[in-house]
């Protein structure tokens, strides 16, 4: 980790005091951990709708002082786009009283941020007998975890023998606790050269009941077993499967054989499908372009999109979505049918959200800003940094997660309205004026009167006499 922080210091901070004035909107970020240094953000539909640049260079991360920090965009296939299998959770040790409730010799004093993140937790002892109890109960802060938790994994200092059951409760305010229909059992037994170790508390079957809770509390069945917890990790359900594509549905404009569509953002489209009401079978060609005056580019087809029956097994079928050869961010799309169709089709475009990785440089809180026609994200060596860290820390290393909050306006429409380049216009005006002056001098010189018959001859010097030409006649 020491090498990790050294690498962080080598990445320069991109300073821009007025970054927020150049972007349309920003999203406050909630960090999954305070001390991770590097974080990853999964972009959502709202960010893509706001972006204007084809390469998403108008998506930046800024710190509390409005300075842009080192950041880069990674494609979904990169390992960075997958949620980590496990993340460390903030936790606090509590006295091992039955039920873990206040009023049994201690009371809980806590300090939390507006988003529920615990800054400080103190178990204030009100009964001297409780002070002698081991602090083997655990209060876990899950307020910053957005993915579903499959299980908790606890770590502790070495013990001679451990076999201890735990009850699990959930709360949203640290005052009202709801028991969950699960129990955990921590086991650490050793005999000769064999060891039995079990440190997981399963939560997978309880996802609907606790998923919105901000805090979990683990209370041991007995206070007689001394145990010193050293860490708590969460195993995330989202890491088990590849996320399905997100889909946009666009209503077409046109009739007969040709229909046009406009994509409302810089989405990385990779899947396409055509939907129409009722049974149908139509051969389509799909084209796109980014500018209304550019030539159309063929993206898919000809291929047949069809629906027979309800699309369920045994009643018919529905054509699968087409996969494009590359991700396309074009704004204008066009469907062309091989024969006239009676209904206006719906173009379905699928994409997988990309990931922004950034370094926590400067003072928090951090925010993601997007949407600009006059500013762009500076180049940074984030990709090389991630590759180097994976060589040093293991191929499964991932930046800690960061989550988008509700967006707020910055410069609004002014940031995405094309601006006139006055410097360029001024330069061309000066050059044009210079050309006119030179042309004027040239015209003046051409209009200088010359004696008859001396066209093309050099003018005589001032004060010189002109000798008459000899008469050639006899």
Share of the chain above pLDDT 70, in %: 73
**Cα 274–Cα 282–Cα 45 angle in degrees, nearest 5:** 5
Long-range CB contact pairs, 313-319, < 8 A, 24+: 316/279, 319/273
Rounded CA separation 106/99 (Å):
12
User: 59-111, pLDDT tens digit by residue?
Assistant: 999 999 999 999 999 987 666 666 667 888 989 888 887 654 444 655 666 66
Do 86-240 and 246-351 fold alike per CATH?
Answer: yes
User: 107-157, pLDDT tens digit by residue?
Assistant: 666 666 666 666 666 666 656 666 667 888 899 998 888 778 888 999 999
The residue among 316 and 4 whose pLDDT is bigger is 316
Confidence at residue 15, expressed as pLDDT on a 0 to 100 scale: 39
Selected from 3.40.720, 2.60.120, 1.10.1220, 3.40.50, the CATH number assigned to the domain covering 86-240 reads 2.60.120
The dihedral built from the CA positions of residue 43, 119, 137 and 228, taken in this order, carries a sign that is: positive
Confidence at residue 270, expressed as pLDDT on a 0 to 100 scale: 95
Confidence at residue 344, expressed as pLDDT on a 0 to 100 scale: 93
**Rg for the chain, CA atoms, rounded:** 35
Residue with tokens 């260079």: 57
Task: Report residue 250: phi and psi, to 5°.
Answer: -115, 130
- Core vs surface per residue 196-224: b (16+ CB within 10 A) or e: eeebebebeebeeebbebbbbbbbbeebe
Half-sphere exposure of 321 (CA within 13 A, CB side): 17
**Has residue 384 got a pLDDT over 80?**
yes
Share of the chain above pLDDT 90, in %: 46
Rounded CA separation 16/71 (Å):
14
206 three-state secondary structure: helix
Distance spanning both ends of the chain, measured CA to CA:
113
**Cα 193–Cα 194–Cα 197 angle in degrees, nearest 5:** 140
Average the pLDDT over 163-169 and give the result.
92
Rounded CA separation 434/352 (Å):
54
Q: How many residues does the structure list for the chain?
A: 474
Average the pLDDT over 234-251 and give the result.
80
Domain 246-351 annotated CATH 3.40.50.150? no
Average the pLDDT over 274-301 and give the result.
94
Average the pLDDT over 360-383 and give the result.
94
Q: Domain ranges in the chain?
A: 2-81+354-416, 86-240, 246-351
User: 416-432, pLDDT tens digit by residue?
Assistant: 886 655 555 566 677 77
The dihedral built from the CA positions of residue 379, 381, 384 and 386, taken in this order, carries a sign that is: negative
Q: What is the DSSP string of 394-462?
A: -TT--PEEEEE---EESSTHHHHSPPP-HHHHHHHHHHHHHHHHHHHHHHHHHTS---TT-TTSPPPPT
State the average pLDDT for the chain.
81
Confidence at residue 50, expressed as pLDDT on a 0 to 100 scale: 96
**Has residue 10 got a pLDDT over 50?**
no
**Has residue 383 got a pLDDT over 60?**
yes
Rounded CA separation 61/28 (Å):
10
Rounded CA separation 191/156 (Å):
19
Contact (CB, 8 A) for 101 and 114? no
**Axis-axis angle for helices 382-393, 2-10 (nearest 10):** 170
Average the pLDDT over 183-197 and give the result.
90
C-alpha distances in angstroms, 375 versus 30, 46, 148, 157, 358? 25, 19, 37, 52, 18
Confidence at residue 359, expressed as pLDDT on a 0 to 100 scale: 96
C-alpha distances in angstroms, 150 versus 22, 81, 238, 331, 404? 42, 19, 9, 40, 23
- Of 448, 449, 451, the closest CA to residue 466 belongs to 451
8 three-state secondary structure: helix
User: 440-454, pLDDT tens digit by residue?
Assistant: 777 677 666 555 555
Q: What is the DSSP string of 85-152?
A: SEEE--EEEE---GGG-TTSSEEEEEEE-TTS-EEEEEEEE-SHHHHTS---EEEEE-TT--SPEEEE
User: 322-366, pLDDT tens digit by residue?
Assistant: 999 999 999 999 999 999 998 999 999 999 999 999 999 999 999
**Has residue 257 got a pLDDT over 50?**
yes
């Amino acid at each position: 980790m020491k090498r990790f922080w050294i690498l962080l210091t080598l990445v320069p901070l991109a300073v821009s005091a007025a970054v927020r004035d150049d972007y349309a909107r920003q999203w406050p970020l909630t960090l999954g951990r305070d001390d991770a240094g590097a974080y990853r953000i999964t972009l959502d539909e709202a960010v893509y709708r706001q972006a204007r640049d084809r390469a998403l260079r108008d998506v930046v991360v800024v710190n509390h002082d409005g300075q842009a920090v080192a950041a880069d965009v990674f494609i979904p296939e990169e390992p960075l786009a997958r949620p980590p299998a496990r993340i460390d959770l903030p936790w606090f040790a509590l006295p091992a009283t039955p039920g873990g409730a206040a009023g049994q010799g201690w009371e809980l004093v806590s300090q939390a941020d507006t988003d529920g993140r615990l800054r400080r937790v103190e178990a204030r002892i009100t009964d001297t007998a409780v002070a002698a109890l081991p602090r083997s109960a655990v209060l876990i802060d899950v307020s910053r975890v957005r993915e579903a938790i499959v299980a908790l994994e606890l770590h502790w200092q070495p013990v001679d023998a451990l076999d201890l059951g735990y009850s699990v409760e959930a709360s949203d305010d640290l005052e009202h606790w709801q028991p969950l229909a699960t129990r955990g059992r921590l086991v650490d037994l050793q005999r000769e050269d064999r060891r039995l170790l079990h440190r997981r508390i399963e939560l997978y079957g309880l996802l609907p009941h606790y998923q919105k809770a901000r805090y979990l509390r683990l209370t041991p069945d007995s206070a007689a077993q001394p145990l010193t917890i050293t860490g708590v990790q969460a195993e995330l359900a989202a890491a088990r499967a590849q996320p399905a594509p997100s889909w946009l549905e666009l209503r077409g404009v046109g009739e007969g054989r040709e229909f046009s569509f406009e994509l409302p953002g810089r989405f990385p489209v990779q899947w396409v499908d055509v939907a129409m009401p009722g049974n149908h079978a139509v051969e389509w060609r799909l084209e796109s372009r980014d500018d209304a005056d550019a030539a159309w580019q063929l993206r898919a087809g000809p291929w047949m999109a069809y629906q027979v029956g309800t699309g369920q097994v045994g009643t018919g079928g529905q054509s699968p979505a087409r996969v494009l050869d590359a991700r396309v961010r074009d704004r204008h799309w066009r469907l062309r049918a091989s024969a006239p169709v009676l209904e206006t089709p719906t173009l379905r475009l699928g994409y997988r959200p990309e990931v922004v990785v950034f370094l926590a440089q400067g003072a928090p809180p951090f925010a993601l800003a997007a949407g600009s026609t006059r500013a762009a994200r500076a180049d940074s060596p984030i990709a090389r940094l991630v590759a180097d860290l994976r060589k040093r820390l293991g191929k499964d290393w991932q930046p800690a997660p960061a989550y988008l909050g509700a967006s707020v306006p910055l410069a609004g429409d002014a940031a995405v309205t094309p601006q006139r380049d006055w410097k360029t216009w001024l330069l061309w005006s000066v050059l044009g004026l210079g050309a006119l002056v030179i042309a004027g001098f040239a015209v003046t010189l051409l209009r200088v009167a010359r004696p008859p018959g001396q066209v093309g001859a050099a003018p005589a010097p001032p004060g010189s006499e002109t000798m008459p030409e000899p008469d050639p006649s006899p």
